[in-house]
Amino acid sequence: MNKVVKMINTLEMVGFIKTNGTQCRFVSLMSNTPVVKIKKDCPYKNVRKVSKKIGLLNANYNTSVRNRIAEKLGVKLNEVEYTNGEVWFKHLQTEDSKNLPLVVNKEKNDGKHYLQYFPHSSTSKYVSETGEEIAEELLKPYFYKESVRPDFKPCVIGIDLANICELKASGVIIQMPDFAEAEAILAD
């Protein structure tokens, strides 16, 4: 039986994620995120994306890229070298200098923490500021074109902890105050 823990702020979630460790594992989360990459002429204002996601925490990005390259080239992993490019974040670390799935902006201290994960599956709904569901097809013309990612680079997402309504990890379910609202939107 999973233990449900009600939390009231993101610092409590930071503490849980820190104690959850660095083992690679699947997690489930529910989020309610403002859509910011949308054109200004969009007739829908303050659009939010409510999602239920499953992803992998603590996967090693460099090893994942090297595995994909080795597979494509038909060579052994130890024959592939890859250097990560520049990123906007830095990982928080354990006392023994292992990366946690928590990242912060490396240039500015804005107090925000992000959960970094490799997405596996996701279901989402878009809602207006009044809570009305908006079909994704109606919003697509207003989304900016996404840049193409080389197929050997896995998708990695950093989600602001303030946008996570529920996180299920290691037999614990963490629910934030806005969980019921997000759950109701996805239940329809």
Minimal CA–CA distance to 154: which of 23, 61, 47, 17? 61
pLDDT tens, the chain, 188 aa long: 678 999 999 999 999 999 888 999 999 999 999 999 999 999 998 999 999 999 999 999 999 999 999 999 999 999 999 999 999 999 999 999 999 999 999 999 899 999 999 999 999 999 998 889 999 999 999 999 888 888 888 999 999 999 999 999 988 999 999 999 999 999 86
pLDDT for 188 equals 66
What residue spans define the domains of the chain?
A: 3-187
Residue 152's pLDDT is 85
Exposure of 57 in the CB half-sphere (CA atoms within 13 A): 25
User: What pLDDT, on the 0 to 100 scale, is given for residue 109?
Assistant: 86
Q: What is the pLDDT of residue 1?
A: 62
**What is the distance between the alpha carbons of residues 104 and 75, in angstroms, rounded to a whole number?**
35
| Residues forming a β-bridge with 54 | 28, 121
Could you tell me the pTM of the whole model? 0.90
Instruction: For residue 14, give the nearest of 170, 178, 164, 183 by alpha carbon.
Output: 164
Using CA atoms, how far apart are residues 101 and 92, in angstroms rounded to an integer? 8
So what's the pLDDT on residue 113?
97
